[in-house]
Structure 1
Amino acid sequence: MSARGTLYGLGLGPGEPDLMTVRAHRLLCSATHVAFFRKAGRPGQARRIVEGLLPDGVVEHAMEYPVTTEIALEDPAYNRALSAFYADCAAHLRALSDAGHDVVVLCEGDPFFYGSFMHLYTRLVGTHPVQVVPAITGMSGAWTATGQPITWGDDVLTVLMGTLPEAKLVRHMADSDALVVMKIGRHIDKVRRALATAGRLDDAWLVEYATMPGQKVVRLVEVEGRITPYFSIVLVHGQGRRP
């Protein structure tokens, strides 16, 4: 019986291919099986990042989400659908590992930072060899794109999801020195209102597709009235202690 293959959660960084780590690039270039998440009918952002970098003959495994925005997050059907989806994906990866295949699972940003791979990791790590390759986070790429440090001195940085209830967003925005708000998309108006209520709107920046083709960096007050891409991050820079 062959030894089980290793399942790699491969962090690709914020989007620009040459921002991935040397280790990630080495594993990618020697991969025989590559898995990645995507929305049905789309190529998938992680797969797009590695275009032209995969070796000839690599076997690709697309894992297509059953839902994205079609069902509200608070609907129990949302969790049921995703739980079954992740269970199926984990079963497929187990079968590949049992057959002796190493599998590289492509992950935008860092695999352990709000990534889908975490849901596979918890289902696999107890029974199969799993390794995680960390990476630069998407938010790091976003604040670097603004040309300003995100924190100074004793600044407290808070990372929020745009999917949170508005009142909760307001509370955290008012209490923190520096802010990162992720998962914006159709929640942009709610995020904007929360920032205004917390008195932070004038200092907020919107970064779309950080380090990727199509990157845009604008003040949030200048883009009222339009839906932003999912790969958008809102930032408020800290202004704390400095020499």
Structure 2
Amino acid sequence: MGKIICTGLGPGDPDLISVKSDRLIRAAAHVAYFRKAGRAGQARQIVQGMLASGVVEYAMEYPVTTEMPFDSPEYNHALAQFYDDWADRLAQVATTADVIVLCEGDPFFYGSFMHLHTRLQGRAEVEVIPGITGMTGCWNAVGTPFTWGDDVLSVLMATLPEADLITHMQRSDAMVIMKTGRNLPKVRAALEHAGRLNDAWLVERGTMPTQRIARLSEVDVTDCPYFAIVLVHGQGRRPEIGGVE
């Protein structure tokens, strides 16, 4: 009997995949990955050139992405059925062989694999290999220390109502704002209201060849790719150490 192994791929640069994930991916006979219909899939692109000859690939294509509101009953039903079906298929493969599931970033940090993980409990042996989170890759790409001393780091979803975003922004030091995309105008407005817009950076496709880093106040917020994160560095409440403040 095989098992299902989810490998965290890190933020996008193949060189940032862990040694363990790299070894498992190259030796895999069965590989599954998420993608939008009609797209190659970011996870699959990261491992381009790594897969063995003859590997069996399972492209798990989302039935919906942004076509309907993410909190609508129709959206939730479609995604639930999608995860149910793929949990069944992967569990069946695992009855005779190992199957590797590719996941950008870290699988347990807002990763799609979490929805499969809950459905596979008691049905197959599951192993998760940690990965560098996308936000870690992005704040290192900016090249400035992100948190100091007693700074409080908040990770916010841009899908939250603007009033909720403002409340969190006003009481946080360092911030990571994910799921931006078409929510970016709302994020910018909330940051401006909270007095933090001038501290905000937009990192698109962090660590990838097409990476772009810019001040959020200077970009067109109507043109934002899916792989984009807004970063707000900590306030710098750091103790004096070695004569440096």
Query: Shorter-chain-normalised TM-score: which range?
Result: over 0.9
Q: State how far apart, in whole Å, the 1-side matches of 2:220 and 2:44 are.
A: 31
| TM-score, with length taken from structure 2 | 0.96
Q: State how far apart, in whole Å, the 2-side matches of 1:149 and 1:70 are.
A: 38
In structure 2, the partner of 1:12 is 9
In structure 2, the partner of 1:136 is 132
In structure 1, the partner of 2:190 is 194
Residue type of the partner of 2:150?
D
In structure 2, the partner of 1:127 is 123
2:141 is aligned with 1:145: yes
2:151 is aligned with 1:155: yes
Q: State how far apart, in whole Å, the 1-side matches of 2:141 and 2:55 are.
A: 33
2:66 is aligned with 1:52: no
Q: State how far apart, in whole Å, the 1-side matches of 2:221 and 2:60 are.
A: 33
Pairwise CA RMSD: 0.8
Q: State how far apart, in whole Å, the 1-side matches of 2:237 and 2:9 are.
A: 31
Q: State how far apart, in whole Å, the 1-side matches of 2:161 and 2:133 are.
A: 24
1:110 to 106, 117, 121: 106
Deviations 1:21-78 (A, max 9, x none): 0000000010000000000000000000000011111000000000000010121111
Q: 1:225: how far off?
A: 4.2
Q: 1:149: how far off?
A: 1.2
Q: 1:195: how far off?
A: 0.4
Q: 1:240: how far off?
A: 1.9
Residue type of the partner of 2:12?
G
Moved over 3 A (4+): none
| TM-score, with length taken from structure 1 | 0.97
- Count the aligned residue pairs: 239
In structure 2, the partner of 1:85 is 82
Write the mapping of 1:162-201 to structure 2, written as runs, cut at 5 A.
162-201=158-197
Q: 1:242: how far off?
A: 3.6
Deviations 1:152-171 (A, max 9, x none): 00100000111111111111
Greater mean deviation of Cα atoms: 220-229 or 183-192:
220-229
* Structure 1, gaps ≥5 residues long: none
Residue type of the partner of 2:181?
G
* Structure 2, gaps ≥5 residues long: 241-245
In structure 2, the partner of 1:218 is 214
In structure 2, the partner of 1:34 is 31
Deviations 1:130-170 (A, max 9, x none): 00000100000000010011100010000011111111111
